[in-house]
Amino acid sequence: MSTPRKRSRRRVGIRFVSVLFGLAAALVFGEVAFRLVEPRETPYRVWRPNTGQVFHPRPEVMPGIQAPPGSPSTRSGWRAREVNAGDRTEYRILAIGGSTTECLYLDDSKAWPFLLEKSTA
């Protein structure tokens, strides 16, 4: 015969498992609901495709930086030259980093990722 203490532990265990199962079911339901609301995959992009931005820094704040002609983005949202789909011999370099990699106030021809790409060509 089971004691009241064993029955109490069993009830607590069943409640704990029930709570875990309910939480897992809620997470699955939420994931399915969000995918139904927003079914398409939205890739992460820093820049919108085919956009450009021109900055005009003040000379007293950023000496030596002239107003660049802009930094256009490609069809896929990268700040780079367009990739030729048929050219598989061209090497590309992906520079990942923060503001010093982005070189936001510099023209593409003066930014170090472009200069690195140009020197390896």
pLDDT in tens, 21-68: 999 999 999 998 888 887 666 666 666 777 777 777 788 888 877 766
| Cα gap 105→97, rounded to integer Å | 15
Please identify which residue in the block is written with the tokens 């409640």. 15
Q: Per the structure, how many domains does the chain have?
A: 2
Mean pLDDT for 8-19 is: 90
Q: Which band of pLDDT confidence, cut at 50, 70 and 90, is reported for residue 85?
A: low
| Cα gap 106→62, rounded to integer Å | 11
Mean pLDDT for 83-106 is: 76
pTM for this entry: 0.49
Q: Do 38 and 55 belong together in one domain?
A: no
Contact call for residues 49 and 75 (beta carbons, < 8 A): yes
Q: Do 19 and 78 belong together in one domain?
A: no
Q: Write out the residue range of the structural domain in which residue 110 sits.
A: 47-121
Q: Do 24 and 72 belong together in one domain?
A: no
Of 85, 84, 76, 71, nearest to 114 by C-alpha is 71
The pLDDT score that the predictor gives to residue 40 is 66
The HSE-up count of residue 116 (CA atoms within 13 Å, CB side) is 10
Please identify which residue in the block is written with the tokens 């704040």. 61
